[in-house]
Amino acid sequence: GNANVVVGANVGGGATTTVSANGTGTVTEQNSAVISGTTIALATGGGNLGASGNGNALNVSGTTLTANVGGSGSAYIATTGGLTLGTSVIGANLQVTASGNLAVGSVSTNNGSISLTSGNNLSVSSGATVFAHEGNLTLLDTNTTTGTIVLGAGSTLEGYTANKLTG
């Protein structure tokens, strides 16, 4: 089935927290809920994780997060602290915003843009690939005084859009 998950209160807090929706179901939050855990895994077969727009991202609090979305689903994730984004594949758009440090492993979109925003230091792990297929790639550090963007040795960044000729 295509079941939606609505997180109405804080969940997790242990070593690993997994939240997933079947099929094209979505995962959303209400009442300022936070998904927490040392390791957080978010997934859906084709629906969205969170939503675009101010205040609609999934709020998370943890050390490491993975997000996997099939089909045409997007992922919108925010944290008030630091976060490591592990290997993740998203059907459409990926937006991750961290008020603290943001470390990024290999992430890709199949048909959308990637936007990664840090409030302190943003880093792409050595050997990682960040690939926005059919979309834009944005890395932003909002700390204009001491913030940094560091690309690890052997990392690859790519935003690709095919040019289709008509006529």
59-74-123 Cα angle (round to 5): 65
**pLDDT, tens digit (0-9, with 9 covering 90-100), for 150-159:** 999 999 999 9
Q: What's the pTM? A: 0.94
Taking 70 as the threshold, does the pLDDT of residue 70 lie above it?
yes
Residues 6 or more apart in contact with residue 127 via CB below 8 angstroms? 152, 153, 154, 155
What residues are paired with 75 via a beta bridge? 49, 94
Q: What share of the chain in percent tops pLDDT 70?
A: 98
- How confident is the model at residue 112, as a pLDDT? 96
* Nearest to 51, CA basis, from 59, 39, 40: 59
SS in 3 state form for 85-100? ECCEEECCCEEEEECC
1-22 burial by CB neighbour count: b if 16+ within 10 A, else e? eeeebebeeebbeeeebebebe
Pairing of strands 11-12, 156-160: unpaired
What are residue 6's phi and psi, to 5 degrees?
Answer: -115, 115
Average pLDDT estimate for 4-32: 93
pLDDT of the residue at 167: 63
Please say whether the beta carbons of 47 and 23 come within 8 A: yes
From first CA to last CA, the distance across the chain in angstroms is: 42
Residues 82, 104 contacting (CB under 8 angstroms): no
Q: Check whether 163 has a pLDDT greater than 90.
A: no
Considering only CA atoms, which of 96, 104, 94, 105 is closest in space to residue 134?
94
